[in-house]
Structures are given as C-alpha cells and as structure tokens.
Homo-oligomer: A and B are copies of this chain.
C-alpha cells in the first residue's frame, strides 16, 4: 500500500519544500549542503523514484523534435522502416516529442542533403538517417555540431554520429553462407548479385559469405560478382533480370544466386521466368510479400531478414532518451536482431513486429 512515495513524501521527511527536492533531483545547485544531504537520505530511505508520467505531463510543451530521413528505394523494405518511425512517433507523441519524417526517393547525396536541411529548418534537435553511399564524410560538415545525429542500417564509423543501429553485416554473410550450404549441399557454384556495392554493408555481406564458403565448402566457387546499379527499384529489377540471363548463359554449372539485398525477389523472378527453378537456387536478404511467395514455391531457399522497422523504432527511442538525458551512450553500436526466413519459418516471422528494450 501507500504505493510509490512521491516528491511530497520526500519533502515532508526531509523537512524542506518540494521545490528544494526538485533542485536536488536535477542537480540544479543552489541548495545548502545540509538540505542536500537530508533530501538525499530521504530519497534513499523511501526508495523514491520520480514519476515519468508526471514528468511527461509537465514537459508537454517544452520538448524536442527528432528529424528522420529515409531513402525509400527498395519499396517494401523502406516501408517497414517508415512504419517503425511511425510507431515510435505514436509512442512519443504524448510525451511532447515531435518526429519529423522526410522520405527521399533515391540514394543520392544531393537529395539527402536537401532533406536534412529541410529538417533542420523545421527545428529538428537531432537527426537520424541512413547515409547514402560515398558521401558519408560530408555529413559531419553538413550537420551543425550542436545537433546530434545517428545512423541506421548503414554506419559511418569514422564520423561524429552519436550512435548506430544496424545488423552485423559480416555475420549476416556467414549465416547466408551456411544456409546456402544446407540447401545446396557441397559444391556451390555461385553468382553474386551486388546492389549498392559502395555500401559498406554490401561488401561485408559478400565477405562473410565467401569467408564461409572458403572454410566450409572446398569445392564451392564464386563464379562472378556483378554490380547491380540501383537508382530505383524498377531499374534494379531490370538490371537483375538482364544480368541473371547473362550469368545463366555464361555459367551453365551455376547452381546458386546470392543477392546482397532486398532485390532478391527480382532475381527469383528472373530465374522463374527462365524456368530454372530447381537448377538454380536463390538466396538473399529481407522479407517482402513476393519474397515470401517465392520461398513458398521453393525458388528462393532462404533469406536473412534484418527488420528495418525495429531498427528505426529503436533508433528514435534511443535518441529521445538521449535528448531527455535519460541515457548515456556508452557503446555507440546497437546490433539489430536478424531472422532466418525459410518455408517453414514463414509463419513465425512477423511483418511489422516492433520491439522495446
């Protein structure tokens, strides 16, 4: 009973006003040594913990804006990201936190730059973004030093970004390698289709995959590594289609296509329309509706999914706690969970599940 002690209880016990307790709570100084101590004792004795609810109610007006920039190229993948941001916005809205969202349609730095400037113009106190390739270093100059920013999905290790939320791409590559071996058996003859090769993550996924093969499939070979230019999803689709055709001609012994990102479904479509299912397995990343049905059909054997919604949700929350002073960022890299999508795990991998903690 008596439920939780309140600031009033602390004030009463230590014989001061609640104003003074508040000052102690927030280290606002201007408190005599003596009162300081007796308040601290009272807090200790009562096990007092300030109510986040009351705090939130008060600070309803005086709150921050978190600006978010998402490059929506692969449509479904980034739609999940947007969803994660919206769930976070919903959650934080009652606390007076505004989440400003800018969706851009490309991986061009110029577009991202414009979006970020718009967010800053709207008064964003912090930014969260997936950096587009090649120009990462410019962000430190673009974003004023007093504005903290964080990265999601793709990191910029040598920048002043406050933290990063994303998968361990090398480990994802290793996992993909294992799945390839399990489904294909030894002797993998593999074509690698790499979109966004300039992304650090893409390279790591390739490295992990080939590390695994080297270690575990002595007869396996990577026959070719093809870059897929990716201005927009449609272009990715067309290119992958062409290149898959090329690869099948050039390498009659090809038995696996490894696609480094969410374009996996389009490689599968190309394989299917050339009636190569059975002969060529497709293995890749992420979850889309089409990916799921290709897995169901057996054209895609497996994908590794990183849950962009979850990542963005976490990133917005972490940034909010940081701004509120509730969280120190000790380790700036938060590794995302990944899931294995195969035919029998389809019922278990939820689409838009978002996770706290």
Contact = CB atoms under 8 A, between A and B. Distances in A.
A53 B93 CA distance: 10
Number of copies: 2
Interface stretch (A72-80, A105-113, A341-349): A341-349
B175 A348 contact: yes
A353 B345 contact: no
Nearest to A93: B4
Interface string A1-15: 001100000000000
B61 A57 contact: no
A174 B172 CA distance: 24
A307 B309 CA distance: 20
B96 A347 contact: no
Contact of A347 (B60, B168, B345): B168
Q: By CB atoms of chain B within 10 A, which of A95, A337, A343 has the most?
A: A337
Contacts of A347: 168, 171, 335
A151 B340 CA distance: 28
Contacts of A52: 94
A26 interface: no
Contact of A352 (B94, B335, B349, B357): B357
A178 B348 contact: no
Across chains A and B, which 5 residue pairs bring their CB atoms closest together, nearest first? A355-B355, A175-B344, A338-B348, A178-B344, A182-B182
Interface of A: 3-4, 51-54, 56-57, 60-61, 87, 91, 93-96, 167-168, 171-172, 174-175, 177-178, 182-183, 212, 335, 337-340, 342-345, 347-350, 352-357
